[in-house]
Amino acid sequence: MVFACVGAVQGIDMKDEKDEKKSEKPGKEKKVVGGRDQLIQAALILASTTRSLASLGLREIARAAGLNPNTFYRHFDNFDDFTLTMILQLGASLRTSVRECWQQPMRKIPPADSADAAARIRRAQAIVKASTALIFDHFDAHKNTYITGIREIHGASPLLRKATNELVKNIADDLANDVLLHLQLPADDEKVVRETSLAIVRQMTFIGYEYLEFPKRREALQQQAEHFALLLVVGVISTQAPELMESMAQVLSAAKLS
Amino acid sequence: MVFACVGAVQGIDMKDEKDEKKSEKPGKEKKVVGGRDQLIQAALILASTTRSLASLGLREIARAAGLNPNTFYRHFDNFDDFTLTMILQLGASLRTSVRECWQQPMRKIPPADSADAAARIRRAQAIVKASTALIFDHFDAHKNTYITGIREIHGASPLLRKATNELVKNIADDLANDVLLHLQLPADDEKVVRETSLAIVRQMTFIGYEYLEFPKRREALQQQAEHFALLLVVGVISTQAPELMESMAQVLSAAKLS
DNA sequence: CATAGAAGTATACATCTGTATACCTCGTGC
DNA sequence: GCACGAGGTATACAGATGTATACTTCTATG
């Protein structure tokens, strides 16, 4: 009833935000990246340092990207559309690049005599060690992506949960396939190798996140990761190929002294 | 300048929310629980079904609890104060109750002849199996707490991350202590047992969350959990006490046929 | 060259949020 | 028997947010 004055109030939303983003290099390379990628990049930084992806605000992201809030709608329908696109895009790139971390050692470390069980086990050990180091470097190189991605694995959004869990599963399957092909292990049961790979990737989720939060702990965490992987390898061999146990015992007792 | 009318506008915030919470049972047991616990309970349900704990709104929680937003400040200073209190309280209760899940099988399954290595290994197997079943029941009984807690392990709030990670570590230490005392395993190296326990608890984080999201998968997940734990036990024994390998091989090949 | 569409901006506004101030209502201890 | 403090409520308001409408560039293609 007393709202008659409302019509007269003008411009109360003017200067909503005081962006000072005018005329940065009005020369040639003005829009080297599209607003779409600017938004994704801004959201990645925000999500990895302040909040969960799904809880970010559309205005907040646009502000961080130096863009108008409405620009958001030019590229994405929903907020879900945005976050999902982002996770899928980042995830796909991560998946292919992390695979190199174990494929390279598998290629570089020469195959062992397939009759010499002990040599094959030693080779597996060496590959685990080299791969772990490369994976930690990979964490460093993709810090924000890892933090944001891992955060959504058990996050609140069912959509992102599904996407990230599929990513984990795919990475684990890549690992399993490569192990089956190139590790020269007597792994009769493919299912066991797949399950074990999944367990390793999941564990690396914890270790990697801890590493990114406390980089100083790298040495201890790297060793923990190697240890864990080797424990599983030994476990798999013991249950799948008990006939190799004695040669494994030799390798292990030799390693204990080092 | 055109805001002269603002002073005249009255009651624009009246009836902020249309709560219909008047006079529910005006009889005796009116306030059986304090508002403090009502808030915690409401937040637990909201967090486990809709959003991350730290991203909940204070008004949202109060609304769900049927209380006035300001009641919040009667019990907690900050929002951080609230969430931290909540996690610590729920976590402490969870820690003591989950311990029973493995302590009970350890008590109920009779000790094996300490000279009979194979018997001790079979006992460990039985304890793992029984404990896993109880732990899955525990997931069911504390669904909301698990979902909310696990979500914060890699969540955005450093405070909650610290609290939940300490909880995980404490639960893992409980497990390690009980294993060292009651599992009759030749575990020379205490550090290995602690690390392995941590890995198991972390893995159960994934498996438990998946179970709570897809209860139908219980059987497969339970088996996966048992499998994983046994693989680690075998791995630990192989590396710590290679002299037990041959009796282990017997048990394993016998189990394979079953 | 014209022009249509894509990308971006400006303004607006209803709605929700955290919080401040003030008031009410018990049960307890003096 | 009364003062007081803890727990709870009512009202208010400044600020932020998502989104709608309309305007302005650019840029590619006929």
B36 touches strand D (CB under 7 A): yes
Residue B9, pLDDT above cutoff 50: no
Whole-number CA gyration radius for chain B? 25
Burial level of A18, CB count in 10 A (0-12/13-18/19+)? exposed
Confidence band of A167 (pLDDT split at 50, 70, 90): very high
Q: How confident is the model at residue B256 (pLDDT cuts 50, 70, 90)?
A: low
Number of Cβ atoms within 10 Å of the Cβ of B137: 11
- DSSP 8-state code for residue B55: G
- A238 at B interface, C-beta within 8 A: yes
Buried b (16+ CB within 10 A) or exposed e, A224-258: bbbbbbbbbbbbbbbbbebebbebbbebbeeeeee
Query: Nearest to residue B102, comparing CAs of B258, B229, B216?
Result: B229
Per-residue pLDDT of B111-135, as tens digits, reads 988 788 888 889 999 999 999 999 9
* Per-residue pLDDT tens digits for A212-221: 999 999 999 9
* DSSP 8-state secondary structure symbol assigned to residue B112: P
pLDDT digits (tens, 9 = 90+) for B32-86: 578 899 999 999 999 999 999 999 999 999 999 999 999 999 999 989 999 999 9
- B70 CA – D6 C1', rounded, Å: 14
Band (pLDDT 50/70/90 cuts) for residue A16 is low
Contact present, A123 and A109 (Cβ < 8 Å): yes
In which band, very low, low, confident or very high, does the pLDDT at A241 lie, cut at 50, 70 and 90?
A: confident
A245 touches chain B (CB under 8 A): yes
What confidence score (pLDDT) does residue B258 get? 52
pLDDT in tens, A50-80: 999 999 999 999 999 999 999 999 999 989 9
One-letter amino acid at B46 equals L
- Let me know: does B71 contact B42? Beta carbons within 8 Å: no
Give the pLDDT confidence score for residue A257 in this predicted structure.
53
B29 CA to C24 C1', in Å?
21
CATH of domain B88-257: 1.10.357.10
Task: Give A90 CA → D21 C1' in Å.
Answer: 34
Average confidence score pLDDT of chain B: 86
Tell me how many helices (H) and strands (E) chain A has: 10, 0
Estimate in Å the CA A67 to C1' D20 gap, whole number: 18
Phi/psi region, residue B18 (left: phi>0; alpha: psi -120 to 50; beta: rest), is beta
- Closest partner residue to B52 (CB to CB) among A156, A209, A210 is A156
Q: Would you kindly state where each structural domain of chain B is located, as residue ranges?
A: 35-75, 88-257
Nucleotides, chain C, CB distance < 7 Å: 6-14, 16-22
Report the residue from A151, A161, A235 with minimal CB separation from B232. A235
Check CB contact under 8 Å for A52 and B231. Answer: no
Under a CB-based contact definition with an 8 Å cutoff, are residues B44 and B90 in contact?
yes
Residue of B138, B136, B140, B151 whose CA lies nearest to B49: B151
A5: tokens are 């004055």
Question: Does nucleic acid strand D have an atom less than 7 angstroms from the CB of B10?
Answer: yes
Q: How far is the CA of A9 from the C1' of C20 (A)?
A: 26
Q: Is the CB of B68 within 7 Å of strand D?
A: yes
Hey, are the CB atoms on B228 and A5 less than 8 Å from each other? Answer: no
A96 or A36, which is more confident: A96
What number of H helices and E strands is found in chain B?
10, 0
* Sign of the alpha-carbon torsion through A250, A253, A254, A255: positive
- Is the CB of A137 less than 7 A from some atom of nucleic acid strand D? no
Nearest by CB to residue B245, choosing from A47, A206, A245, is A245
Consecutive H or E run containing A71 = helix A71-75
Suggest the residue from B151, B202, B213, B231 to mutate for an interface test with chain A (most A CBs closer than 10 A): B231
Q: What residues of chain A, 121 to 180, have a C-beta less than 8 Å from chain B?
A: 150-151, 153-156, 161, 165
The answer, for B242 touching chain A at a CB cutoff of 8 Å, is yes
- Give the nucleotide nearest to A19 (CA→C1'): C9
DSSP 8-class letter at B72: H
Alpha-carbon distance B135 to B137, whole Å? 5
Which residue carries 């390998």 as its tokens? B245
Distance from CA of B32 to the nearest CA of A (A): 32
Mean pLDDT, all residues of chain A: 86
Q: How does residue A101 score in pLDDT terms, banded at 50, 70 and 90?
A: very high
Q: Please tell me whether the interface predicted TM-score (ipTM) of this complex is above 0.95.
A: no
A41 CB and strand C closer than 7 A: no
**A92-257 topology per CATH:** Tetracycline Repressor; domain 2 (1.10.357)
> What CA–CA distances, in Å, run from A156 to A52, A243, B86?
9, 47, 18
Pairwise pLDDT comparison (B30 vs B143), residue with the higher score: B143
Q: Which two tokens stand for residue A145?
A: 């992506």
Looking at residue A23, what is its pLDDT? 35
Query: What number of other Cβ atoms are within 10 A of residue B48's Cβ?
Result: 20
Percentage, residues of chain B above pLDDT 70: 84
First-to-last CA distance in chain A? 86
Nearest chain B residue to A150, by CA: B154
A35-75 placed in CATH 2.70.98.10? no
Other beta carbons within 10 angstroms of residue A50's beta carbon come to 13
A245 CB neighbours in chain B (<8 A) are 238, 245-246, 248-249
Nearest CA in chain A to B3: A9
Largest CA distance in chain A: 93
**Residue A120: HSE in the Cβ half-sphere, 13 Å Cα cutoff:** 18
